[in-house]
């Protein structure tokens, strides 16, 4: 219990420290997608609405699908160059079977890169993160209460696989939103997630994910996402935690889950990793934050991985490559 408390407190101080570091954009051209707004685009690329309007000669906030926008370069002169790290990961994955989507974001400079970052891949249980984050936002807005109870219905809520409710819950049993949200993250409980999803509606969760900037959201009803989109949801969890105690509790739950075969596996003991792991056959996935000396977001989705243990091991190796690179930057 004391160790868990220390980790929770450390997360608070880390989040407070991260507030002082602005996120920056890299110069590029972007084609506006359906559902985009200047606010979403600015948030996605770490710039501001005013900068977008100024650099694109916009007199209003109105934009339209297909429009080309110039994303200004906000990179500081001393911002790290991640070209060699990206190349290292690409070379590592070159002879690996299957497809991996990878996204990295340095939380100090805002620098980022992706490998197949916009390729739709199975989200598996990583989708539970934006769903539970949405519940947190509804509670924070006063639309829901953590003590509100949902009633289990096996006809709509049952699912085997991850979690312990499948062995104990019975029709008519009632569980609080807080219990279900915690179980959906810490034990990746499928029934807990299904009860929450069925309660607020899959469509509402999808709308929330799009509002954050997600581009690949349940296409044709499938649980697919991209490494870039998952990084957006991780960043949204960090943003929420900076201003809300429940958000910090969500990060603490993510740091104390029972599944740790992916991102945390090769990270040194004592370094906090908040993440949400997921797996369906052939598609290991993980998304989270490594709070080392130079914190970073890492998300990895995959498909066509015959050996799930090796798939998770590869995710762990990628995360360790990023960690070592970041620690070297912090020392120099």
DSSP per-residue codes, 170-183: -TT-EEEHHHHHHH
239 and 220 within one domain: yes
Does residue 235 form part of some domain?
yes
If asked whether residues 115 and 260 sit together in one domain, one would say yes
pLDDT score at 159: 97
CB 209 within 8 A of CB 185: no
pLDDT at residue 10, as a whole number: 54
Distance (Å, whole) CA 29 – CA 15: 31
How many angstroms separate the CA atoms of 91 and 19, rounded?
34
Beta strand pairing call for 174-176 and 149-151: antiparallel
- Residue 188, in any domain of the structure: no
Same domain membership, residue 115 and residue 35: no
Specify if 3 maps to a domain: no
Q: How far apart are CA 34 and CA 36, in angstroms?
A: 6
Domain assignment present for 159:
no
- Can you give the CATH number for the domain in which 237 is found? 3.40.710.10
146 lies in some domain: no
| Cα torsion angle, 268, 115, 236, 283, sign | negative
pLDDT of residue 76: 47
Total number of residues shown for the chain: 332
Q: 243: domain range?
A: 82-132+195-331
Considering the domain architecture, whether residues 67 and 199 belong to the same structural domain is answered as no
Does the CA dihedral 314-317-322-325 come out positive or negative? negative
What pLDDT is attached to residue 171? 98
Q: What is the pLDDT of residue 1?
A: 44
Taking only the tens of pLDDT, the chain with its 332 residues reads 444 444 554 555 455 544 434 444 456 788 888 778 888 887 667 677 888 888 898 988 899 888 999 887 654 445 789 999 999 999 999 999 999 999 999 998 888 999 999 999 999 999 999 999 999 999 999 999 999 999 999 999 999 999 999 999 999 999 999 999 999 999 999 999 999 999 999 999 999 999 999 999 999 999 999 999 999 999 999 999 988 999 999 999 999 999 999 999 999 999 999 999 999 989 999 999 999 999 999 999 999 999 999 999 999 999 999 999 999 998 88
Q: Which residues neighbour 148 within 8 Å (Cβ) at sequence distance 6 or greater?
A: 176, 177
Do 62 and 199 belong together in one domain?
no
Tell me the CATH number at 46: 3.10.350.10
Beta strands (DSSP E) in 254-295 are 272-280, 283-291
Kindly state whether residues 118 and 209 are assigned to the same domain: yes
Q: Residue 2's pLDDT is what?
A: 41
- Per-residue pLDDT, 46: 67
141 located within any domain:
no
| pLDDT for 48 | 76
Domain count of the fold of the chain: 2
167/243 Cα distance (integer angstroms)? 37
pLDDT at position 184: 98
- Residue 278 located in a structural domain: yes
């Amino acid at each position: 219990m004391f160790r868990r408390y220390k980790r929770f407190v450390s997360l608070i101080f880390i989040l407070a420290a991260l507030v002082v570091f602005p996120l920056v954009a890299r110069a590029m051209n972007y084609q506006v997608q359906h559902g985009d707004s200047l606010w979403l685009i600015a948030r996605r690329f770490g710039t501001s609405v005013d900068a977008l309007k100024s650099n694109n000669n916009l007199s209003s906030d109105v934009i339209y699908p297909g429009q080309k926008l110039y994303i200004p370069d906000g990179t500081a002169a001393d911002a790290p160059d991640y070209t060699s790290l990206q190349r290292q990961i690409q070379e590592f994955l070159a002879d690996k079977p299957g497809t991996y989507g990878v996204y990295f974001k340095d939380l100090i400079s805002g620098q980022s890169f992706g490998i197949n970052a916009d390729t739709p891949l199975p989200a598996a249980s990583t989708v539970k993160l934006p769903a539970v984050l949405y519940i947190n936002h509804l509670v924070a807005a006063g639309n829901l209460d953590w003590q509100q109870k949902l009633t289990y219905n096996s006809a709509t809520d049952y699912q085997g696989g991850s979690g312990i409710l499948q062995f104990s819950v019975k029709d008519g049993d009632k569980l609080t939103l807080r219990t279900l949200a915690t179980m959906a993250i810490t034990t990746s409980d499928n029934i807990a997630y299904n009860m929450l999803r069925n309660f607020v509606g899959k469509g509402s969760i999808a709308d929330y994910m799009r509002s954050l900037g997600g581009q690949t959201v349940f296409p044709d009803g499938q649980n697919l996402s991209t490494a870039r989109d998952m990084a957006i949801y991780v960043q949204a969890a960090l943003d929420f935690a900076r201003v809300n105690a429940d958000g910090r509790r969500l990060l603490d739950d993510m740091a104390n889950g029972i599944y740790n075969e992916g991102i945390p596996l090769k990270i040194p003991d004592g370094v906090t990793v908040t993440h949400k792991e997921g797996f369906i056959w052939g598609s290991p996935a993980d998304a989270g934050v490594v709070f080392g000396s130079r914190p970073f977001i890492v998300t990895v989705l995959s498909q066509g991985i015959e050996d799930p243990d090796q798939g998770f091991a590869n995710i762990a190796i990628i995360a360790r490559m990023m960690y070592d690179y970041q620690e070297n930057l912090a020392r120099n």
